[in-house]
Structure 1
Amino acid sequence: MKKIILWILGILLSLTVITVGGAFFYAKHMIGKVEQVEINKEDLSVNEETEEKYGDIRNIALYGIDAEDGKTGRSDSIMILTVDTKNKKLKLTSIMRDSYVNIPGHGYDKINHAYSFGGPELAIRTLNENFDLNIKEFMAVNFTSMPAIIDKLGGINIDITSEEIQYIPGITSTGTQKLTGEQALAYARIRYATGGDYKRTERHRTVLNAIFNEMKSKSISEYPSLASEFLPYIRTNISSNEMLSLIGDIGTLMSGNLEQNRFPTDEQGQGKMIDGVYYMTFDIEEVKNSLHQYIFQ
């Protein structure tokens, strides 16, 4: 994965419209900067049993698109944002991009190919059908926007290991370092250090968590200008009214931690060459059960 998903950042930045008195119409104006995309919710294969049992837990697919226009191409970052107001939890789940799954109409392939085959609609359907999920919404952003956004925040604090130093220009010592946008992107792109793609997805969550913490440290008065700059990077099928509701829900959960995990885990996944191509193979039922226990508990 070459990018960090920043959709949640746009939502967090927009929290100001909830806290500033008389800001409803301003909120609508700000959220209007997000690029709206229509998808057929009837064709997302939402699991009916999961929806009936956990319909009050909102799951949103988050994609980082590897493409010049940010609209087509593979989704090399795939995460699920869980907004659980029932249990008062905010969670972020990474799905390994090389996961070997059945993509409807295309057979077994890497899960990150689904977006390039059929856009967000097929990408969401692939997640729902393979893992029995209830995802109906998505947000997507092109990774090239990350450096500018992080620089606008004044950088982010990341704990750098001795092995990672060589991959990050300008960093010469270990420990907590304030990274610029370009340095954070280089950190997220590290491919060949210990831990491989497992560690790589962890770095993505680490960067997103650092952005989350940086936002919590900002003054409310700084939010409007930040939101105005960042929201245009986001593509979503979440309407303005639904976004306002989502912002309110996230606002009530921001005081807590952003819980993070990824699937398949080290114990569940195994790299395998199939017809000369590397895939992450796993027992789908085992991973599905673990994923459900994490997201819905």
Structure 2
Amino acid sequence: MGKRKKKDSTKILKRILISLIAVIVLLVGVGVFYIYNVLGKIEKTEINKEDLGIVKEESGKDITNIALFGVDAPKGQTGRSDSIMILSLDKAHKKIKLTSIMRDSYVNIPGRGMDKINHAYAFGGPQLAIKTLNTNFGLNIENFLTVNFTSLPIIIDKIGGVDINLTNGDLKYLNQHLGNKSTPVNGTGIHTLDGEQAMAYCRIRYDGGDQRRTERHRTVLEAVFKKIKEVPASKIPGIITDLLTYVETNYSSTEILGLGTSNMSLLNTDMVQYRLPEDGKYQGKNIKGVYYTVFDIKETKNDLKKFIYEN
């Protein structure tokens, strides 16, 4: 049971923090150029941008799409992308958009055929994973951020906790997931949760099933995003230092700084969340004894493009 809990905890950390890192990438551009040397700690991985299946007609200059992956393998090894998200920096509509894609989605992986989308990373790393996103959903992604492992509680404690509105269902199970190092939460309503408490909140799975648990992940991410925007510039280097040893990307330090400065106008906006496929537009199906999330790829592609490019 202990090993299972640790594995589940690690997966949740990846899902939330790949997005947190992307948010911090934006914050880097806010006059904190002395972070340049810290950014040099990022593990840069070159990919062939000529072989990413990019759909150029969707390459709007005011919208930047970045693939975010969380992999279930130790640093230095290739594993499946347990978490797959698309971060869209939309200056046209002045929004930061975050799309998550269900990991069991049944799609065509170039050169491999129909399979779960999270297998693409295991088959060909970020190169094939990005190509799979572009070719199936008509996207123009050229860059990525991958996280192998990190510690959500440490980062949340660094920013002074996160404010979460707890329901009766949340409270019923949250304290059951707390270790001996954290204080139990009493009462529903808005509470400032420390790192361990927030982690326990994310691990709840018996109230509302997996969809509600996914919603909790997004709730914590939203709370972290809001809190990060309030963090004094002097504390940002420490947060980044804690995260960067777990990041792999094809961005250079200069490109990250440029990304931050060119998107400063988005820092005062809220993050808009989305998930594919949408509720009511997919079904679970066993194919040759393996479970897949099956959906109409054409309809889902149109839903995603509308969210990224039109809203």
Q: TM-score, normalised by structure 1?
A: 0.89
Q: Call closer, same or farther: CA 1:172–1:64 in 2, change over 3 Å.
A: farther
Once residues 66 and 151 of structure 1 are traced to their aligned partners in structure 2, the CA distance between those partners, rounded to angstroms, is 24
Equivalent of 1:183 in 188, 194, 197: 197
Unaligned runs of 5+ in 1: none
Give the alignment of 1:64-213 within 5 angstroms: 64-69=70-75, 71-165=77-171, 166-167=173-174, 168-169=177-178, 170-194=184-208, 196-213=209-226
2:50 pairs with 25, 42, 46, which one?
Answer: 42
User: Which residue of 1 is the match for residue 8 of structure 2?
Assistant: none
Q: Displacement of 1:92 after TM fit? A: 0.6
Give the distance between the partners of 1:15 and 1:120, measured in 2 at CA: 21
Query: Residues 138 and 94 from structure 1, CA distance in 2 versus in 1: closer, same or farther, beyond 3 angstroms?
Result: same
RMSD: 2.2
The Cα of 1:61 is off from its aligned counterpart by 0.5
Shift of 1:71: 4.7
2:285–2:294 contact (8 Å) kept in structure 1: yes
SS of aligned partner of 2:145 = strand
**Distance in 2 of aligned mates of 1:100 and 1:284:** 9
Partner residue in 2 for 1:63: 69
Seen in structure 2, the aligned counterparts of structure 1 residues 273 and 73 have a Cα distance that, compared at 3 Å, is same
Q: Distance in 1 between matches of 2:114 and 2:126?
A: 18
Structure 1: how far apart are the matches of 2:250 and 2:95? 23
Aligned twin of 2:280: 267
Alpha-carbon separation, structure 2, partners of 1:120 and 1:255 = 30
Q: Match for residue 247 of structure 1? A: 260
- Give aligned pairs, total: 291
Q: Name the aligned partner's letter for residue 235 of structure 1.
A: E
- Is residue 26–residue 259 contact of structure 2 (8 Å, CA) maintained in 1? no
CA–CA distance in structure 1, aligned partners of residues 121 and 77 of structure 2: 9
Q: Where does residue 3 of structure 2 map in the other structure? A: none
How many Å separate the matches in 2 of 1:40 and 1:66?
24
Report the Cα distance in structure 1 between the residues aligned to 2:158 and 2:108, rounded to whole angstroms. Answer: 40
SS at match of 1:129: helix
Post-superposition Cα deviations, 1:40-74, rounded to whole Å, max 9, x if no partner, equal 111111113223xx243110011112223275222
Q: CA deviation at 1:143?
A: 4.2
Is the partner of 1:2 in helix, strand or coil?
A: helix
Instruction: Tell me how far 1:90 sits from its aligned partner.
Output: 0.9
Q: Over residues 146-188 of structure 1, what are the superposed CA-to-partner deviations in whole Å (9 max), with x where a residue is unaligned?
A: 2322222222222233223315423453322333333333333
| Alpha-carbon contact 2:30-2:264 (below 8 Å) kept | no
State the identity %. Answer: 53
Larger deviation, residues 10-19 vs 248-257: 10-19
1: distance between equivalents of 2:91 and 2:301? 22
Q: 1: distance between equivalents of 2:43 and 2:154?
A: 19
* Structure 1 pair 226–123 and aligned structure 2 pair: CA distance change class (3 A): same
Alignment partner for residue 9 of structure 1, among 20, 28, 38? 20
Greater Cα offset, 77-86 or 9-18: 9-18
**2:221 partner amino acid:** L
Q: 2:231: which partner in 1?
A: 218
Distance verdict in 2 for CA 1:74–1:180, change over 3 Å: farther
Gapped regions of structure 2 (runs ≥ 5): 1-10, 179-183
Change (3 A) 1:227 1:173: same
